[in-house]
Amino acid sequence: MTTVSDLFRVSYGNKLDMNKMVKADKSEGIAFVGRMGGLNGKSGVAGYVKPVPGLNPYRENLLTVALGGARLLSTYVQQRPFYTAQNVAVLRPIDPEMPLLHRLYYAMCIRANAFRYTAFGREANRTLAAIEIPTEVPDWVDSGEIPTIEGMARPERSEVELGDTTKWREFTFEDLFTVKKGKRVTKANRVPGATRFIGASEKNNGITDMCDLEPTFEAHCLTVPYNGNSVGVAFYQDRPFCASDDVNVLIPKAEISYWALLFVAAVIRFERYRFTYGYKWNLTRMKKTQIRLPAKKDGTPDWAYMESVMRGLPFSGAIASFDDVA
């Protein structure tokens, strides 16, 4: 093992206050790194600000470390020039040729020490440089690939107009789906495993846990929480799963494509405002709830049209890039 200071030059950032900066658009501003954390894709960036006269930003590919707060030791490799807030350290590799994959690996190693510290108690201001990290980088790190988002925003097909929604037809949920309720399984009765557990969440596709239970529902259906703050947030499930008793599961009665089910999920979300804690979207109400969808002349849902609309939206190309979806 070695220490952070053996591999990196440690500095303690710009110590700026974002509320005293002039905000700017992402396209032209300097990234402002605060004591943020979590795997949310933001890399600690709280926003973007205009350049400060006479103050050069740190360059890209340096590491930032939150030294205090609730996300203590959140460590990221910054992808663009940046300023920092108070209590954010900057790590510059002593070896300027350190590969990006190695920098990402060491960011993970530093983050793994967070359990040793507490916010507003034992913070990392004085001890960051002495944190122990591996001397050698494992071989598997060099075999990794960094995904790119290039081209993700492109539509999979040409854009299709949504048309006149007043001409859509009403269908009840039970017209289109077999509606079933999930089963209550407490956290104490679940152990970690490979099965998705879908709960009342509006994040992470509704996945609240990975457990060892046998799946109770097959893939290719929709899940809709009927309870809590996430009521009506519909998700498509592409793998077998278990669902909590706060979730209703919509199993298609007809052969409906993934794309068309995504369309229906979006429509369902527009209905969530009708329900509250005191007026839940329970199984009986959901079966009888009507939603409006594009229909063919014979009165049946126009699944092909719904699919074409979804395939013409931005980022549909990213979805289509998965073989099991397209």
Q: Which of 154-158, 217-221, 234-238, 298-302 has the lowest mean pLDDT?
A: 154-158
- Look at 19 and 277; give whichever has higher pLDDT: 19
Give me the mean pLDDT over the 141-150 stretch.
Answer: 81
Domain topology for 2-142:
Adenine-n6-DNA-methyltransferase TaqI; Chain A, domain 2 (3.90.220)
Class of domain 165-320: alpha beta
pLDDT at 277: 79
Residue-wise pLDDT tens digits, 20-63: 999 999 888 999 999 887 655 678 899 999 999 999 999 999 99
pLDDT at 246 over 70: yes
pLDDT at 207 over 80: yes
Provide long-range contacts, Cβ within 8 A and 24+ apart, for 23-27: 23/47, 23/48, 23/49, 23/50, 24/48, 24/49, 24/50
CA-to-CA distance for 74 and 88, rounded, in angstroms? 10
In this chain, the answer to whether the domains covering 2-142 and 165-320 adopt an identical fold is yes
Q: Which amino acid is at 235?
A: F
pLDDT at 123 over 90: no
Whether 35 contacts 60, CB under 8 Å: no
- Look at 153 and 150; give whichever has higher pLDDT: 153
pLDDT at 324 over 80: no
- Look at 48 and 187; give whichever has higher pLDDT: 48
Q: For the chain, which residues make up each domain, given as ranges?
A: 2-142, 165-320
Confidence of residue 326 (pLDDT cuts 50, 70, 90): very low
